[in-house]
């Protein structure tokens, strides 16, 4: 598990994500999640107002992958802030960082539950947590859970490890009940007044929206405006339940394999391999990519010569074939350095 986690961190450049990732306005302004204070063990306290988030709008304005990596970015930023301020969080250097989360479902509706992109993103975030941050959570207070949550939770529950489920406390709309539970573990001065504490914004707002936003409807001006451009792209049809391979010869080490593709209807699993005899060595791990509204772009530094295989896999779809529009090329490092463009 540790080896896989280290490899995941390497592949996704997690150690530098705080500096490298530049979140879009949609993510910073309409994803409601933030570090707000500390619990009684001096561990970080987070509030996520998921019920107030317009997930349909967010995922029509940002790629699902970008949303997921933004969540990872928030987690890594929280860990860094705790480690960097041992006096505030009163921890020894070798103590594991854990966090308490208030997960507010006020406003949750069937729109959240029936949106496939939102459900897929939630499952992927859970999988990333379980594989890479299994002890990061101390306690989760799920509050204001409406009746429709009884439909959503069984969908997510199989992906949540039992040790994690034991840390989750679920409450309905009885604020007296969940406020008492939260205050048993969080001092009032570390908690917004809306959740039973004494913190307010300078103007007296009990929700402390200067610290954690209220989500809200994403303006349609942020939406991806049109279908991706098909100019200078080739097409490839991938039948339902099957996969297609494209081979590219790399004659010089240090060359760059670049790709830009989108799927005409739906998503596709994308991967890159290097041929070694009859075997295919994974270079870019297989990942299900939502690229209907905007193209998927990336590049790979080819440290070794040989044949590189780009794979488009539609094995998860039993009914629909997929049409892929793609532009894939092998360029020398000199060309990449000249144009200054990085698509990673």
pLDDT per residue over 131-188, tens digit each? 999 889 999 999 999 999 999 999 999 999 999 999 999 999 999 999 999 999 999 9
Mean pLDDT of 27-31: 97
Global model pTM greater than 0.85:
no
Mean pLDDT of 47-52: 98
The per-residue pLDDT for 96 is 80
The per-residue pLDDT for 336 is 45
Give the pair of three-digit tokens for residue 33.
């999640």
Q: Average per-residue pLDDT in the chain? A: 91
Burial (0-12, 13-18, 19+ Cβ within 10 Å), 69: buried
Mean pLDDT of 259-280: 92
pLDDT at 344 over 70: no
Burial (0-12, 13-18, 19+ Cβ within 10 Å), 243: middle
200/49 Cα distance (integer angstroms): 17
Lowest mean pLDDT among 156-160, 196-200, 261-265, 312-316: 261-265
User: What sections of the chain are H helices per DSSP?
Assistant: 2-11, 17-20, 25-30, 55-61, 64-84, 86-89, 110-114, 116-132, 149-156, 162-165, 175-183, 333-339
The per-residue pLDDT for 225 is 67
Find out whether 19 and 76 touch, Cβ atoms under 8 Å.
no
The per-residue pLDDT for 93 is 66
Mean pLDDT of 324-344: 66
pLDDT at 343 over 90: no
At 109-120, the pLDDT tens digits run 998 988 888 998
Higher pLDDT: 318 or 198? It is 198
Mean pLDDT of 231-241: 94
The per-residue pLDDT for 195 is 98
Q: How confident is the model at residue 291 (pLDDT cuts 50, 70, 90)?
A: confident
Lowest mean pLDDT among 119-128, 237-246, 285-294: 285-294
Neighbours of 288 (CB within 10 A): 14
Burial (0-12, 13-18, 19+ Cβ within 10 Å), 224: middle
The per-residue pLDDT for 265 is 78
């Amino acid at each position: 598990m540790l080896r896989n986690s280290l490899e995941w961190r390497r592949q996704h450049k997690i150690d530098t994500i705080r500096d490298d990732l530049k979140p879009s306005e949609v993510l910073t302004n309409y994803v409601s999640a933030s570090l707000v204070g500390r619990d009684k063990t001096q561990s970080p306290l987070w509030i996520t107002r998921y019920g107030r988030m317009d997930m349909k709008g967010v995922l029509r304005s940002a790629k699902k992958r970008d949303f997921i990596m933004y969540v990872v970015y928030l987690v890594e930023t929280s860990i860094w802030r705790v480690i960097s301020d041992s006096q505030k969080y009163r921890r020894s250097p070798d103590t594991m960082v854990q966090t308490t989360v208030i997960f507010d479902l006020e406003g949750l509706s069937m729109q959240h539950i029936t949106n496939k992109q939102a459900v897929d993103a939630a499952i992927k975030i859970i999988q990333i947590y379980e594989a890479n941050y299994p002890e990061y959570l101390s306690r989760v207070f799920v509050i204001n859970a409406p009746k429709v949550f009884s439909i959503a939770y069984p969908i997510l529950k199989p992906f949540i490890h039992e040790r994690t489920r034991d840390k989750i406390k679920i409450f309905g709309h009885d604020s007296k009940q969940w406020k008492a539970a939260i205050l048993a573990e969080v001092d009032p001065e570390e908690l917004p007044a809306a959740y039973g504490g004494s913190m307010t914004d300078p103007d007296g707002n009990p929700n402390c929206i200067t610290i954690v936003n209220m989500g809200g409807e994403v303006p349609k001006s942020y939406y991806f405006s049109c279908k991706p451009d098909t100019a200078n792209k080739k097409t490839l049809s991938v039948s339902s339940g099957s996969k297609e391979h494209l081979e590219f010869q790399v004659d010089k080490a240090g060359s760059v394999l670049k790709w830009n593709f989108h799927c005409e209807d739906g998503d596709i699993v994308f991967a890159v391999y290097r041929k070694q005899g009859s075997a295919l060595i994974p270079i870019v791990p297989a990942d299900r990519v939502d690229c209907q509204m905007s193209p998927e772009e990336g590049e790979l530094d080819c440290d070794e010569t040989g044949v590189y295989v780009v794979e488009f896999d539609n094995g998860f779809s039993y009914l629909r074939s997929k049409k892929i529009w793609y532009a894939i090329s092998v360029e020398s490092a000199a060309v990449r350095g000249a144009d200054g463009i990085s698509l990673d």
